[in-house]
Structure 1
Amino acid sequence: MEDNDMPVTAVLSHWRLTVKGIEAGFDLQWAFEWSSELHHRDQLHKMWPLLSEQEQMRWQPILSRWDERFRAATAPIRNPDAAVRKDGRWWQDRYPLRVTGEPGQELPPLWSPPIYLDKE
């Protein structure tokens, strides 16, 4: 089954697991794959306009709750040179506040402090 064919419940479930993982601490080993981690939120963004109004109303409170938790576990990228995203994908312009990994690991250039490095 392709991502486009996944039911809303499955994609929301994947988004929930992604957010929980980010809250627990994002492993710096995967820092340069960050935007790939947000794939399921991208899928929700694509499928939302295809849902009926009734389905949107049904699922919006759940999506909003996980988006809010994502916002709390991340911070906006601070880069004056970056273009303002006009496609509505605000989650792609954020980075995790809590990371795990080895001290001294390189962070992507657009990730701005403060972050909290949890030693494993």
Structure 2
Amino acid sequence: MLDESTKTKKVHTINISDDVYKRVKSHIQEKGVTFTEFVNTTLSASLNRHKLSKMYTPYITEDFISDNAVYLNDSKLNKIAIVRLKEFPDTDLDNTGFYAYCEICDSDSCIHVRHSLVTGSILKLSILYKKA
């Protein structure tokens, strides 16, 4: 059923795989929003993240994403930065789970790590699906 705001706006149909639809449907039921609202909000946020990354780090571009690393081309350093997920050691009682780590900067809080978090490229690593 269309509400008043969609009657006046042009609406487009999209195809979504059944697996993704089921996961999103359970998520939006918890949030109390419609599927259309969720898709519009998610797509708008994605575009805003892309715009922010271009303003924040215009010299960093995503070069390649492998199964376990994000490769970022840093034109300022003229190098390829490799960002991977690392697991906190069992001896670290304050932290659990995973964190992003840049091999070129030897850091977990450098601009390359922040870029991969803002753009969401770190979420594309297949290691996430193996560990979940």
Q: Same fold (TM over 0.5)?
A: no
TM-score, normalised on structure 1? 0.26
TM-score, normalised on structure 2? 0.24
In proportion to residue count, which structure has more helix? Answer: 1
